[in-house]
Structure 1
Amino acid sequence: MKTVGIAAMSLVFFFILLITYSIFIGTADLRSHFFPLLQSQLPSDSIPCNSQSPLRVYMYDLPRRFNVGMLNRRSSEEAPVTARTLPPWPGNTGLRKQHSVEYWMMASLLYEGDSEDETREAVRVSDPESADVFFVPFFSSLSFNTHGHTMTDPATELDRQLQVDILKFLRKSNYWRRSSGQDHVIPLHHPNAFRFLREQVNASILIVADFGRYPKIMSNLRKDVVAPYVHVVDSFMDDDHPDPYESRTTLLFFRGRTVRKDEGVVRSKLAKILVGYEDVHYERSFATGETIKASSQGMRSSKFCLHPAGDTPSSCRLFDAIVSHCVPVIVSDQIELPYEDEIDYTQFSIFFSVKEALVPDYMVTQLREFSKERWLEMWRRLKNVSHHYEFQYPPKKEDAVNMIWRQVRHKLPMTKLAVHRSRRLKVPDWWRRRR
């Protein structure tokens, strides 16, 4: 009995010591571990949550020629844009809209709503010393599309000059110099955005659409953010058919350019493989107002929407499919997707490697054998996630621009690590050289 008593006392002492230590290091939640019933009886608003204050962003005041001035080139106004003077994104920009992420990010910071609004992931601050990151509102994608996007047009010199000028501006900033630009956010959504001097801003947090287009040394998932394309078809707002599966009579839909380069050569090969199927619509087409409307109707009446790689692994077509609630069929070996640390695309998309897709009959057979119940589950998930791909002003909770800012926040720990190391290292990145 004496031995049992000593053992019991030792056990009690051990638990007291463990609890004391846990409280001291801040890892113990006694209510959840020892009083789960009590916790379940508490009102929900009394349970601690992990809500964070919005990301604090300092946005440089740039002359309009670097941003919205490109939307109206007849205007000579150079004063920095404000919430009051922000022009709406024009409705006649066609495919230029798909790379307008830079506009919506700037607009979200100009929005003068409540700075404590819980729907906002980022707010603009006037004091750069209080900023978490610095935003550079240079519309580099629009600059490429506006100033001689054929790359041989003499107007490309205007694009080059804007890049030269913005770098001169940034190099005068104490905040750029103190971090070598590593805590600066720069949208480079179009694959050819900032193409002349890109290596000089590569240390920054870049907002890009495709990693597959760039060498690893120029962009990487550690610091950069994958942003969705802005969809060009209208969102399917009244998708409430009592039997959506049967109402979508086309099995697989694709409309777009079939002559592409690099990994995109798969499109011309698929055109030969998918011919002759009555329930497959595979059409060569160029983007116009009429063809975009036709694509929208085709996606809404199809169960699956094909997304083969183009000139880059991703394209606007994927996000058109998502807002049309058409289950994406993604054929690409190199694609990187937006928000993938939060969203599991396999819950509402199907993936084929290029090799699998080019096996005759394989892909169509797999889709035909796809059960109605599984398709309906994916369709419901598409309806639940599609708001994450909407760009709008004013911004709304968990819409595309708020999701992008949240992704920027996720990059901050590694960014701060890089900035702090760079301030004290005498031999930059010595550990890489050793490998």
Structure 2
Amino acid sequence: MSNRSQKMYGKAAFALVFAILILLITYSIFIGTVDIRSYFLPLLPSPPPGAQPPRATGPPLKVYMYDLPRRFNVGMLNRKSTEQAPVTARTWPTWPRNSGLKRQHSVEYWMMGSLLFDGDGGDGRAAVRVSDPELADAFFVPFFSSLSFNTHGHHMTDPATEIDHQLQIDVLKILGESKYWQRSGGRDHVIPLTHPNAFRFLRPQINASIQIVVDFGRYPHVMSNLSKDVVSPYVHVVDSFTDDNHSNPYESRTTLLFFQGRTFRKDEGIVRVKLAKILAGYDDVHYERSVATGDNIKASSQRMRSSKFCLHPAGDTPSSCRLFDAIVSHCVPVIVSDEIELPFEDEIDYTKFSLFFSFKEALEPGYMVDQLRKFPKDRWIEMWRQLNSISHHFEFHYPPEKEDAVNMLWRQVKHKLPAVKLAIHRNRRLKIPDWWRRRK
């Protein structure tokens, strides 16, 4: 055989081997046995140690949103405006900077905005708006019930309270005339109710709906339950700690335990007065009674960033905005509440970045401070790293961002839908609803 023929056969053999190798690699990637990243992108940064990977959720949830006049939603942000046409992406207003504590109950605003946003869909959104209700997986009711209470009925007895009441009557009339509400009994409708007094006049009439709540423990089982409802975070009011990259974060945070807020609360919140006595006299504990003014919020933000642990005792309800302020400040939360429910807990393990004390433990003189002083430095640093890696799940954005709080909430709604669909289908054929409960 000539040298030329040998070269030709050699090239042919090489081409065949190369083609087989490419086919094998392609098939391996397809079935998931080869991580292409480790072969070709070894220099890309890896996720932080212990970071939880994003959960695969498939295509985005298809949501139909009712076109309600602005008086039901953004009209409350600017009460001088007389415009009543439904808001669009082009006319979507920014959340006002001077809203104070109203911001913590603004989940309804961010959820509505996420559906109005007309991006190209390549941004990792968990839900998209559809114009045809027949294509919808769920229905969103853009009534700002929390802002309505804060705007019209905050004192509960003033004349403006009737405006809040009338809005509830009007929105239920609109829903009652919708065949989509009628066919499911409202079960596949999503209604944000993040203020404890939101929709307080007619709450029983929306019990079947998917409710977005923050203080789950406040309501009896007949009104809210975890099989259908979604626990939301409060919208934090302190600024996020976006450049928390200190080389020695443990030593840079000189306060052991920090709390600043109201100490006279109802129900479980009575623990705050007792804690004030228990925690008095410690040089490394800051426990201050204050109200949420602009200056106090700024001061609280700085003190959280200089504290190792941030105390979260129950308030009027088991949860409060303070927990989420601590998370975005990367201050390890110390949660004192026997009945708290936490957002996104099917995806996030709070024990990796939070500590929990029962009322009994917290009120034992010296016990909690002693446990915190003995807490290992390396474990605290790992919790701090976890806070850095998960805090973006508690941020609200417009436009929405991948894995942010709005997308996490829509993902939670999607998780609830199988049980909701089951309830809808069973209700259509059962003569005696929940018959098994009546058996002796």
* TM-score (norm. length: structure 2): 0.88
- Cα 1:132–1:373 shift into 2, 3 Å: same
Matched-pair contact (CA < 8 Å) for 2:123–2:401: no
1-structure distance, mates of 2:57, 2:141: 27
1-structure distance, mates of 2:32, 2:76: 56
State how 1:14-29 maps to structure 2 within 5 Å.
none
Which residue, out of 392, 400, 419, partners 1:414? Answer: 419
Q: CA deviation at 1:174?
A: 0.3
Matched, 1:245 2:250: yes
Aligned residue number for residue 177 of structure 1: 182
Q: CA deviation at 1:351?
A: 0.1
Which residue, out of 338, 342, 364, partners 1:337? Answer: 342
CA deviation map 1:46-98 (0-9, x unaligned): xxx95511000000000000000000001111000000001000000000000
Counterpart residue identity of residue 336, structure 1: E
- Cα 1:53–1:307 shift into 2, 3 Å: same
Q: CA deviation at 1:118?
A: 5.0
2-structure distance, mates of 1:44, 1:360: 53
Aligned residue number for residue 40 of structure 1: 33
Q: CA deviation at 1:426?
A: 1.6
Which residue, out of 71, 81, 106, partners 2:87? Answer: 81
Aligned residue number for residue 129 of structure 1: 134
Matched, 1:64 2:70: yes
Aligned residue number for residue 267 of structure 1: 272
SS of alignment partner, residue 218 of structure 2: coil
CA deviation map 1:399-432 (0-9, x unaligned): 0000000000000010000000111112222222
Matched, 1:399 2:404: yes
Q: CA deviation at 1:434?
A: 2.6
Alignment gaps of 5+ in structure 2: 1-23, 39-54
Aligned residue number for residue 105 of structure 1: 111
CA deviation map 1:126-153 (0-9, x unaligned): 0000000000000000000000211111
2-structure distance, mates of 1:44, 1:180: 48
Counterpart residue identity of residue 355, structure 1: K
Matched-pair contact (CA < 8 Å) for 2:102–2:150: yes
2-structure distance, mates of 1:297, 1:321: 11
- Cα 1:275–1:69 shift into 2, 3 Å: same
Q: CA deviation at 1:312?
A: 0.4
- Cα 1:39–1:184 shift into 2, 3 Å: closer
Matched, 1:300 2:302: no
Paired residues, number = 397
Counterpart residue identity of residue 422, structure 1: N
2-structure distance, mates of 1:39, 1:355: 50
Q: CA deviation at 1:42?
A: 7.0
1-structure distance, mates of 2:136, 2:297: 41
1-structure distance, mates of 2:153, 2:109: 20
SS of alignment partner, residue 200 of structure 2: coil
Aligned residue number for residue 324 of structure 1: 329
**Which stretches of structure 1, 4 residues or longer, exceed 3 Å deviation after superposition?**
38-45
2-structure distance, mates of 1:312, 1:233: 20
1-structure distance, mates of 2:57, 2:434: 35
- Cα 1:296–1:423 shift into 2, 3 Å: same
2-structure distance, mates of 1:265, 1:429: 38
Aligned residue number for residue 21 of structure 1: none
SS of alignment partner, residue 92 of structure 1: helix
Identity percentage over the alignment?
A: 75
2-structure distance, mates of 1:147, 1:340: 33
SS of alignment partner, residue 64 of structure 2: strand
Matched, 1:54 2:60: yes
SS of alignment partner, residue 191 of structure 1: coil
Which residue, out of 103, 116, 120, partners 1:114? Answer: 120
Aligned residue number for residue 239 of structure 2: 234
Matched, 1:166 2:166: no
State how 1:352-431 maps to structure 2 within 5 Å.
352-431=357-436
- Cα 1:356–1:187 shift into 2, 3 Å: same
Counterpart residue identity of residue 336, structure 2: V
Counterpart residue identity of residue 33, structure 2: S
Matched, 1:93 2:86: no
1-structure distance, mates of 2:186, 2:427: 11
Matched, 1:221 2:229: no
Counterpart residue identity of residue 154, structure 2: H
CA deviation map 1:247-283 (0-9, x unaligned): 0000000000000010000000000000000000000
